[in-house]
Amino acid sequence: MEYKMQLTDEQQALLSGEKGETLAKVMETLVRYGELFGADRMVKVTSEYNHLVTSFGLKALTPVYSLMDRLIEAGAVSGQKFSADPKPLDKNVPSGFIQNIVFNKFMYTKQDFYEGQLKKLGLMNEDAFTCTCYMNEVGNVPKKGDILSWSESSAVVYANSVLGARCNRNSGIIDLMGSVVGFVPDFGLLKDEGRMADWIVEIRTSKKPEAQLLGSAVGMKVMESVPYIKGLDKWFTALDEDAKTYLKDFGAATASNGAVGLYHVENITPEAVELGQGLIKPDAKVYVIDDAELKRVYDSYPVIWKDKQAKPKLCFMGCPHMSLNQLISWTKRVEEGLKKSGNKKVVVPTVFTAAPGVLKEFETTPYAKRLKDTGVITSYICPLMYMNNPLSTKMPVITSSNKLRTYTSARYYTDDEILEKITKGGN
């Protein structure tokens, strides 16, 4: 079969089978995939590490395991070490007897097998299970301009936007293949023209908007387009840890409530600092977000609990995983909330999720014991995977994550509302 794509001698050798039949099929898949999107060449993956989302130990994903086995058997393992999305299970997270049966006997029965495959393929280390692989405590932090072959929508949008790396929103299998051969099709967000902004988003709120609420509004409006955000520099003057944490949550919501793979924040994110409004296309549309617009978006969220007035039985914070400064700041907030309410411990079982490396670092601080004393549980799991249990779906679960709200039955509340509910109680 003839392809229009211009390949280097090295790439052609892979396609022709000089490095084996398996690698040839992998290369052929990538070439065909790239040509569907108009790519005329393949470019080299330049990041030190990859990030994978291929499975969560679900028995139904047997074809994925079979494909990974074929790659392992052929020696076609990733040329990069990689991190992977979070584990789905943790015995410390509250769950009932029957829930656990469903988790362990029906849903994630292949988890151990899957993790074994990842180790053979090139897992960075035992702590490399997180959706926020770009945290310093995890160690998978691409450089500006790096070409990635990553999956996980929230990680991809962060890498593109906050770090200035380049990666398309592809499937986990496609990105595994890109990492295996070391090349990806050159289209979309890998190209300068693909990183130009189609939308101008003007923030005109009276106070700093909730990151996940703002991201939700932007994502639902621009969908897969690239927005250029004006007005956030009123509250952030540099890309410090507070700004990175905010943009982590903002980006995750844009990627899940829409399909955003890249955004620019004026005077803050790397490309916006470098190129400014030169990133905006001449025909860019304008979306104004004020207090009324945020309220409209908030009020539009459906409540799919069977009993809409039910008292929350569980609270998840950290989808995507919380940063170290979030764990510390939320420890203080929970303590203050409990002091005001007169309670000693949270009145709603509450789980803060974070990367294993972040949790280990948190444990070295005095805040870890303080948070434990409030009754809050810390965990490394993916809350979304917990909520995929049909019995979890029936629970009145609350969260300040718009990603978790979008994909599950969890109910969204702002951070202030969450704080009141877990420290004071009420519907």
pLDDT tens digits, one per residue of 157-192: 999 999 999 999 999 999 999 999 999 999 999 999
Dist. CA 209–CA 205, nearest whole Å? 7
pLDDT reading at 272 higher than 90: yes
| Residue 79 confidence (pLDDT) above 90 | no
Q: How confident is the model at residue 76 (pLDDT cuts 50, 70, 90)?
A: confident
Count the neighbouring beta carbons within 10 Å of the beta carbon of residue 414: 15
Is the separation of the CB atoms in 416 and 340 below 8 Å? no
Residue 80 has pLDDT above 90, yes or no: no
* Per-residue pLDDT at 297: 98
pLDDT at residue 68 above 70?
yes
Q: How far apart are CA 249 and CA 224, in angstroms?
A: 17
pLDDT value at 233 more than 90: yes
Asked whether the predicted pLDDT for residue 287 surpasses 90, the reply is yes
274 contacts: CB under 8 Å, gap ≥ 6:
none
What's the rounded mean pLDDT across residues 362-385? 98
State residue 426's pLDDT score: 65
Please check the confidence at residue 77 and state whether its pLDDT lies above 90: no
CA pair distance 353, 57, nearest whole angstrom: 19
pLDDT of the residue at 75: 86
Residue 16 has a pLDDT of 94
Tokens in use for 369? 């014991």
pLDDT at residue 54 in the model = 86
Pairing of the two strands 183-185 and 42-44: antiparallel
Q: Which domains does the chain have, with CATH numbers?
A: 9-185 (3.30.499), 193-300 (no CATH), 314-423 (3.30.499.10)
162 DSSP 8-state letter: T
Cα dihedral 243, 143, 221, 410, rounded to 10, equals -70
pLDDT number for residue 1: 64
d(CA 263, CA 160): 8
Per mean pLDDT, which range of 57-61, 310-314, 322-326 is the poorest? 57-61
Q: What is residue 46's DSSP assignment?
A: -
**pLDDT number for residue 59:** 83
The residue-averaged pLDDT of 38-57 equals 93
pLDDT of residue 102: 95
The pLDDT tens digits for 235-269 are 999 999 999 999 999 999 999 999 999 999 999 99
Mean pLDDT, range 274-279, rounded to an integer: 97
Looking at residue 174, its pLDDT comes to 94
Cis check: omega of the bond before 320, within 30 degrees of 0: yes
Examine the pLDDT at 141 and tell me if it is beyond 80.
Answer: yes
CA 319 to chain centre: 7
What Rg do the C-alpha atoms of the chain give, in angstroms? Answer: 22
**In the prediction, which pLDDT does 363 show?**
98
Bigger pLDDT: 252 vs 3: 252
For residue 138, give the nearest of 355, 426, 301, 394 by alpha carbon: 355
What value does the mean pLDDT take over residues 283-289?
A: 98
pLDDT at 427 over 70: no
Structure confidence by residue, pLDDT tens digits, 377-405: 999 999 999 999 999 999 999 999 999 99
Cβ neighbours around 139 below 10 Å, total: 17
Rounded percentage of the chain residues whose pLDDT exceeds 70: 99
What's the one-letter identity of residue 66? S
β-bridge mates for residue 26, sequence order: none
